[in-house]
Structure 1
């Protein structure tokens, strides 16, 4: 059964719930029952062996848990004689038997169903007379990994969550990230470490502080196994949404991961892994979401711990907390002497440029650039995410840059690398194909500067596109057509994004136009500044401030001076400005000819009407 058919089948349970449940509450029933059936199917082949082992070790007075886990071949177990199919044999006691079955799971699985508040839903279904029908519906489907693999199951959960989020007007994108975006991010994380990750028995850690249903961790694990089936990726995560956390934890259980590494709670106010450092990290924090709820905890940590805490560089404005997650990930980087770390984080456009010199955002950008932590920033196509159509960017940061990347930042504009989806999913109308992901990965992995050549025919229609690496020849133009070149990958020194904001003062004048001088202190005898005429200028770090002032200011205001005490250093990354290509308008004679043609046609029509 493919993913769409399976999702449709599970979704048909909603027909049973209609009337007794609001649409927004369907997920409270369908999600935990789907998880339960998945776990039920996973344990089915070893059920009899587990029961026999549990009975034998209990009779011997031994703790049966380690023996039962070995027999189950999983990191969880169930010691009840019941399973979902056997529950169907006693319709009158379905609720009590279902509770008993849940309680017979190992503690981690019971925690999953507590997060779902499953007991509340079982009682509600029983009172509505629907419990047996719903259970029977799920008992009929086979969710064993041999029929539905882990990757497919993850897609099923994401599809269901998206549907429920749409019905309840929630933001589906808060719970998961499109798989092709994750694949791109994972490629960018691993591409420079091919040699290390190819070694037999290599073990690495990966962390997602906004884990959702665990999609990022799962794709990273699948990617590494495809690359080297002798490698091992130990997964860590934290998630705030109870249902997403429950699904993530269940998924990690089935994959054999240590679910103690998946923590419930708010990453910003209550770090679930306070003393851990990781090899790789991934995150897609919520875009443009305020952090007022955790403001007190965050400010306290910033003020009391400084750079010994997570938020030393500065604090962004309360209206958008995405840069807090970036700083949180910085604090989780393994020291460079111990092998270092690399992480990828999805952010909207705001963290690139919001905030002037001295602001929290600028200070955070200053910290990561002056410490040479930013490897690359990749612009994604718009309409890629389920809950927003805005521009998004993948930042790749590392404290173990290879020598050829040191002191530099690569910007890649992948905003044109997409194909239209056959069917939109919320705000998601575009997706990146495998070729698109491979192209971006190659540009990043090879640290290439490149242009995108678009070949246009005589009618202006696109006939081909080609990536032209630095030093390569661009394709020739067809007869009557042309080739349009646009920057695709650019490399800049870190300081290219820095500037000094200087304060330009003009003298205060009295009613007669005479300059007013200071009468006391260090300004005695010096011209007083007129605050109404005060202005600021941003001078690139690569330029001499005095030379800039003489060239750009003094010719227009000969009495101006710089107040050096107010000079501030700022950083911004004007991504779009670097990739803007000016296209000159058509020749004036051509435009005039078109206008004359239209005007003549209108005059002809008027004459015909008046005839």
Structure 2
């Protein structure tokens, strides 16, 4: 059964729920039962052996858990003689038997169903007289990995979650990362390490602080498996949404990962992996979502721990917390002396330029660039995400830049690299083809400037090219007679006094001499002006679009005049036909 047919089948369960459940509530039933059926099928081949082992160890008074895991061949087990199909044999007691079956799973799986609040949904289905029909529907589909591999199962989860998100009218910030965007990020993350990753027995860690349903972690694992079957990627993650967390944990469980590494909770206020550092990291934090709920905890860490904590460089405005995740990931980088780290994060346009010199956003950019952490930024096409059509950017950061990248940043404009989808999915109307992903990966890997159809698509800059000094330009206060007012006391005695109403600021590129700029740009227009150097601030911004703007000269007046005459001629002809 292919992914589309499978997801259509699972979606058909909604027909049974209609009337007793609101559309926005369908996911509360369908998602946990999809997971339950998957686990049920995975354990089916070893069911008899596991039960026999359980009885034997129970008689001997031995802790059966390690033996059951070995018999099951998985990182989880179930000790109930029941499964979903045998539940169908006792319609009158399906509620009690279903509870008994779920309770017999190993602790990690029970936690998954607790996060789904599965108990409450079973009770609700039973009261509505739907429990037997709904469970029976799921017993009709084979979700064993031989029939539906992990990749397909991931696609099923993704499609179902996306549909339920749309029905729940979730905000644009609660978006979902398309697979081709994750594939691009994974390519960019690993490309410089292909040689190291191809060594037999290599073990690497990867972390996602906004793990969602685990898509980024899964695709990273698939990439490494394709390139080196003997390599092992140990995954870590944290997720705030209970249902997404439950699905991510279920997915990792089936793939043999240690699900203790997937933590529930808010990454910003309660780091689930304190003191841990990782080789690779990926994240797609929510766009434009305020962090007011965790403001107290974040500010406390910023003020009391400074650079020993995660948020030392600065804090962005409360209306958008995405840059806090950027700082969080930086804090999780291995020291370069221990091999260093690389990570990719998806951000909207705001972190590129929001906030003037001295603001939290600018100070974060300053920290990133002055510490030479930014390798590249890739501008993606609009309409790439399911619930938002805004422009998005992939930032790649590393504290182990290869020599030829040191002190430099590459900007890649992939805004024109897309193909129209056969069918739009929410706001997602465009997608990256394999050829587009390969081209972006090539541009990044070769670290070259390039053009396409006469327009730049890849440019390389020095870190300092994004810096500037904001200087304060003062002009003297004058009395009614037009004479300059001089200070009468202290250090200001005899000096011209600044007129606050005439005060202005200028942004001077960091690579340019301030005095030379002042003489050229200011003094010709205000010969009495001076700079108050005590007020100078350093800022950083990355005006991405400006660096790829290509000026198109307007048409000549002669061409416009000819076109106007042609239009007037057509109008006169039409009028004559009407009047005639």
TM-score (norm 2): 0.99
Change (3 A) 1:147 1:200: same
How far did residue 348 of structure 1 move?
0.3
Q: How far 1:61 sits from its partner (Å)? A: 1.3
1:207 aligns with 2:176: no
- 2:569 paired residue number: 600
- 1:355-387: CA deviations, max 9, x gaps? 000000000000000000000000000000011
2:345 aligned counterpart, secondary structure: strand
Whether contact under 8 Å (1:176, 1:215) holds in the other structure is: no
Residue 128 of structure 1 corresponds to 128
Deviation at 1:299, TM superposition (A): 0.3
1:339 maps to 2:339:
yes
Residues 414-443 of structure 1: per-residue CA shift (max 9 Å, x gap): 011100001111110000000000000011
For the pair 1:367 / 2:367, whether they are aligned, the reply is: yes
Q: Which stretches in structure 2 are left out of the alignment for 5+ residues?
A: none
Distance across 1 between alignment mates of 2:444 and 2:7: 36
Q: Deviations along 1:484-529, whole A, 9 cap, x unmatched? A: x000100000000000000000000111111111111211110000
- CA deviations over 1:105-150 (Å, ceiling 9, x no partner): 0000000000000000001111111000001000110000111111
**Corresponding residue for 1:303?**
303
Match of 1:545 among 508, 514, 517: 514
Q: Is the 8 A contact 1:315 1:324 kept in 2?
A: yes
Structure-1 separation of matches of 2:411 and 2:45: 51
SS state at 1:174 partner: coil
Is the CA contact (8 Å cut-off) linking 2:173 and 2:287 kept in structure 1?
no
* Alpha-carbon contact 2:175-2:386 (below 8 Å) kept: no
Residue 532 of structure 2 aligns with which residue?
A: 563
For residues 408-447 of structure 1, the aligned pairs below 5 Å read 408-447=408-447
- Which residues in structure 2 correspond to 1:351-390 (within 5 Å)? 351-390=351-390
Give yes or no for the alignment of 1:584 onto 2:553.
yes
Give the match's secondary structure for 1:503. Answer: strand
Q: Please give the secondary structure, in 2, of the residue aligned with 1:43.
A: helix
> 1:122 aligns to what SS in structure 2?
helix
Q: Indicate the SS of the match to 1:216.
A: helix
The question of whether the paired residues in 2 share the 8 Å contact of 1:174 and 1:212 is answered with no
Return 516-525 or 64-73, whichever deviates more.
Answer: 516-525
Matches within 5 A, 1:178-577: 178-453=178-453, 485-577=454-546
Q: Distance in 1 between matches of 2:480 and 2:85?
A: 95
| Residues 273-300 of structure 1, C-alpha deviations (whole Å, 9 max, x = no match) | 0110000000000000000000000000
Displacement of 1:610 in angstroms is: 2.4
8 Å contact kept, 2:175–2:388: no
In 2, distance between residues paired with 1:407 and 1:608?
70
Query: What is the CA–CA distance in structure 1 between the aligned matches of 2:264 and 2:336, rounded to whole Å?
Result: 29
- CA distance in structure 1 between the aligned counterparts of 2:437 and 2:566, rounded to whole angstroms: 47
User: Helix, strand or coil: the match of 1:429?
Assistant: strand
Q: Is 1:173–1:385's contact at 8 Å kept on the other side of the alignment?
A: no
> Residue 380 of structure 1 contacts residue 413 of structure 1 at CA under 8 Å; is this kept in 2?
yes
Q: Measure the CA separation in 2 of the matches of 1:33 and 1:129.
A: 17
User: Quick one: structure 1 residues 47 and 421, their matched pair in 2 at CA, closer, same or farther if it must change by over 3 Å?
Assistant: same
Write the distance in 1 (CA, Å) between the matches of 2:108 and 2:491: 69
**Structure 1 counterpart SS, 2:422:** strand
Contact kept? 2:26, 2:164, Cα under 8 Å:
yes
Alpha-carbon deviation of 1:593?
Answer: 1.0
Q: For residue 456 of structure 1, what is the aligned residue in structure 2? A: none
Q: Deviations over 1:82-116 (max 9, x none)?
A: 00000000000000000000010000000000000
SS at 1:82 equivalent: coil
Whether 1:166 aligns to 2:166 is yes
Compute the displacement of 1:60 (Å): 1.3
Q: Is the 8 A contact 1:175 1:244 kept in 2?
A: no
Answer whether contact 2:173 2:288 (CA < 8 A) is retained: no
Q: What RMSD over aligned residues (CA atoms) do the two structures have, in Å?
A: 0.8
1:604, distance to aligned residue in structure 2 (A): 1.8
Counterpart secondary structure, 1:78: coil
**Per-residue deviation, 1:588:** 2.1
- Alpha-carbon distance, 1:26 to partner: 0.7
Counterpart secondary structure, 2:410: strand
Counterpart CA distance in 1 for 2:417 and 2:77 is: 45
- Could you tell me whether the CA contact under 8 Å between 1:311 and 1:324 is conserved in 2? yes
Aligned to 2:116: 116
- Is residue 502–residue 539 contact of structure 1 (8 Å, CA) maintained in 2? yes
CA drift of 1:606 comes to 1.8
Q: Paired residues, what number?
A: 580
1:87 matched to which residue of 2? Answer: 87
Contact 1:173 1:386 in 2 (8 A): no
TM-score under structure 1 length normalisation: 0.94
Distance 2:577 2:82 in 1: 88
CA contact (8 A) 2:208 2:217 kept: yes
How far apart in 1 are the matches of 2:14 and 2:516? 71
1:250 positional shift: 0.4
SS of structure 1 residue aligned to 2:381: coil
Residues 146-177 of structure 1 deviation map (CA, whole Å, 9 limit, x = unaligned): 11111111111111111111112124863631
- In structure 1, list runs of 5 or more residues that go unmatched: 454-484
CA drift of 1:345 comes to: 0.2
Distance verdict in 2 for CA 1:173–1:419, change over 3 Å = farther
Equivalent residues in 2 for 1:150-165 (5 A)? 150-165=150-165
Say which SS state the counterpart of residue 40 (structure 1) adopts: helix
